[in-house]
Structure 1
């Protein structure tokens, strides 16, 4: 059953298409200028879209000729007049130009959106994945194994 269209689901659709196109500017246009991003890679936080830009640029450039498909599942949203929140699982899959998946990982994502000047923008994003407490390495496939135990 398709999700009800909300500012969050619309945002996730735009996120997915910007990632697939590796379009840095379109991707960053989803974020408020004063956004705060807690990402899973290397930095404690990215305060503001200008701080977030180099990381996004590096991500898209690191793909080379490959593309990245972002697929959101288990989306739970709450929308009010000018504030929306959501959490979801998101699978990032690298694919070749021929459509062959070569790598993937699953993250957890929580977003806060605010309606500003009539547009919904991400004002906070937090992505994460669980860690193996013995090795302190990310469990990229924990989502797939979560019901196996």
Structure 2
């Protein structure tokens, strides 16, 4: 029996919090399409996204990392699943200062050879349309 998307999402988040690149990438399909909130418009393929994840991890060299999912919702059938959640990502920089923010996450999952794999990853951060400023200070409870 395959693991549920809820279990896999929790394991994926734990792999990110521990900054374990091999575990993180094990969740992704080779044909992944990713829209991240950082760096570029899109990432095509697992290899390109791995490079991006490695660069993201370099922003938190201080060893402290937090990555948690909130309000995870999942819709699925036997072959496809769609999940969305709010994500809190926090890390410490080289000075030991903690930095973090809430983001939005949408993922598409596909059953491939008996395993669920992420085929679409989309992180986003809201912004103010008038000023163009990114709204990093928003929280789910506000």
* TM-score of the aligned structures, taking structure 2 as reference length: 0.88
Residue 66 of structure 1 deviates from its aligned partner by 2.7
Q: In 1, distance between residues paired with 2:128 and 2:63?
A: 29
Distance 1:30 1:101, change over 3 A: farther
Q: In 1, distance between residues paired with 2:133 and 2:8?
A: 30
What is the count of residue pairs matched by the alignment? Answer: 138
Q: In 2, distance between residues paired with 1:17 and 1:31?
A: 15
The alignment status of 1:121 with 2:125, answered yes or no, reads: no
Q: Which runs of 4+ in 1 moved over 4 A?
A: none
Segments of 5+ residues of structure 2 without an aligned counterpart are: none
1:7 match:
4
Q: In 2, distance between residues paired with 1:139 and 1:8?
A: 29
Q: In 2, distance between residues paired with 1:34 and 1:136?
A: 32
Segments of 5+ residues of structure 1 without an aligned counterpart are: 1-5
